[in-house]
Amino acid sequence: MRPVGRSKVGVALLYLFLSLLSVLAVFPLVWIILSSFKTSGEMASHPLAFFPETFTFEYYRRVLNNLHFATNIKNSLIVSLSATLITIVVSSLGAYGIVRFFPKAGKRMTKLLITTYMFPPILLAVPYSIIIIKLGLVNTWTGLVITYLSFSIPYAIWMLSGFFQTVPLEIEEAARVDGAGKWRVFVQVVLPIVAPGVVATAIYTFINTWNEFLFALLLINSSGKMPISVALYSLTGSEILDWGEMMAASVIVILPSIVFFMLIQRKIAGGMAEGSVK
């Protein structure tokens, strides 16, 4: 081990470093949470005051009642959950297939998948809106989910292959000897082993779709169907900008993501590290 890890001064320095980084990382979140409870007069006149003088829940009330954010949250949930579900089913099969049955071609496949990442989303917008109209799925959640699959499946396959590679072949062979078919081996033996990885991938996909902005902006035309990221954007373009509403809405949007992230962070990395080290 390096000496810096041993000496007390070294450890203290590490704690100091991490504390500073943590303050930087957390400050914006803390700041908008605190600000979302301040009155607009207070925000304008005391830019440095940390804690609100008078706590107001007014903005949260307005965001949830008048602006129908509850509807937008529901829309986001529907779109993100369906996209996640489809992604996970298709990608688990795909990733397992690549790892077990086409290990050689799989290498190329992953590279190809990464290449699909190279196309800038901004230019996918017009072709996608044309495809979606041809499919008759304009202004529907189905249409939006389909576009989300385009970026979530490649990434999910790539993440999941990492997890599947950690499953020892011997276990599968043992099951096969006992007479189980390939499908049964997959469902009853392999999936339970990589379950944590699948969950991690699922939540990661969920957050990416939850935060997606561009396609939702361009493909959904009715405010009743808008997911939350676009609803948030609409707020910034409205006639009278209300910083307080914006803060409250932002807090409502990020808190679920943060909770999810805390739950999965260990798992996300686990899959990647193992996958690529092998």
Partner 1 sequence: MNSLRTSFKRWNLTGLLFVLPAVLIVVLLLIYPILSSMYYSFTSKNLIRPHYQWVWLDNFRYVLTNPEFYRAFANSIKWTVLSIVGQLLVGFAAALALNKIPRFSGFFRTLLIIPWAFPAIVIAFTWKWIFNDVYGFLPNLLTQLGITSHNVNLFAEPSLVFGAVLFVNIWFGAPLFMVNILSALKTIPADQYEAAMMDGATPWQSFWAITIRHIRGVIGLLLVLRTIWVFNNFDLLYLMTGGGPSDLTTTLPIFAYKTGWGLKQLGVASAITIILLLFLLVVCMLYFRLLNKWEKEDR
Partner 2 sequence: MNAKQWSMASLAALVLLTAGCGKEADTPEAAGSGDKEMKGEIVMWHSFTQGARNDFMKEAADAFMSKHPGVKIKIETFAWPEFYTKWTTGLQSGQVPDVSTALPNHVVEMLDADAIVPLNDVIDKIGRDRFYEAPLKEGTVDGKNYSIPLYSHAQVMWYRKDLLEKAKLPVPKTWDELYETAKALNNPPEVYGLSVPMGLGDMMATRFLNFYVRSAGEALVTKDGKANLTSKAAIDGINYWVKMYKTTSPSGSVNFKVLDQATLYYQGKTAFDFNSGFQIGGVETNSPKLLDQIDAAPIPKINANDPDRGIETSNVPMVVWKNSKHPEIAKAFVESLYEKERYIKFLHSVPAGMLPAMKDIAEDPAFLDNPTIQKFSGAVKVISSAVDQGTAIGMENGPTLESGILANQGVIEKMFQNIVLKNEPVEEAAKKAENELNQLFKLYQ
The least CB distance from residue 32 to partner 2, in Å, is 17
Interactions with partner 2, residue window 137-166 (CB under 8 A):
138-139
The least CB distance from residue 39 to partner 1, in Å, is 13
121, burial (CB in 10 Å: exposed 0-12, middle 13-18, buried 19+): middle
57, burial (CB in 10 Å: exposed 0-12, middle 13-18, buried 19+): exposed
Q: Which stretch binds partner 2 (CB under 8 A): 9-17, 26-34, 159-167, 217-225?
A: 217-225
Residues in the chain: 278
91, burial (CB in 10 Å: exposed 0-12, middle 13-18, buried 19+): buried
Residue 39 lies near partner 2 (rule: CB under 8 A)? no
Choose which of 218, 232, 248, 264 interacts with partner 2 (CB under 8 A): 218
Residue 233 lies near partner 2 (rule: CB under 8 A)? yes
Residue 238 lies near partner 2 (rule: CB under 8 A)? yes
Cα(164)–Cα(103) distance, integer angstroms? 12
Q: Dihedral, CA atoms, 84, 273, 115, 167, nearest 10 degrees?
A: -70
Q: Could you tell me the two tokens for 53?
A: 């003088």
Residue 236 lies near partner 2 (rule: CB under 8 A)? yes
Q: Could you tell me the two tokens for 73?
A: 């949250």
Choose which of 120, 168, 179, 237 interacts with partner 2 (CB under 8 A): 237
The least CB distance from residue 81 to partner 1, in Å, is 17
Residue 65 lies near partner 2 (rule: CB under 8 A)? no
The least CB distance from residue 66 to partner 1, in Å, is 20
Residue 54 lies near partner 2 (rule: CB under 8 A)? no
Interactions with partner 2, residue window 114-133 (CB under 8 A):
125-126, 129-130, 132-133
DSSP label at residue 222: -
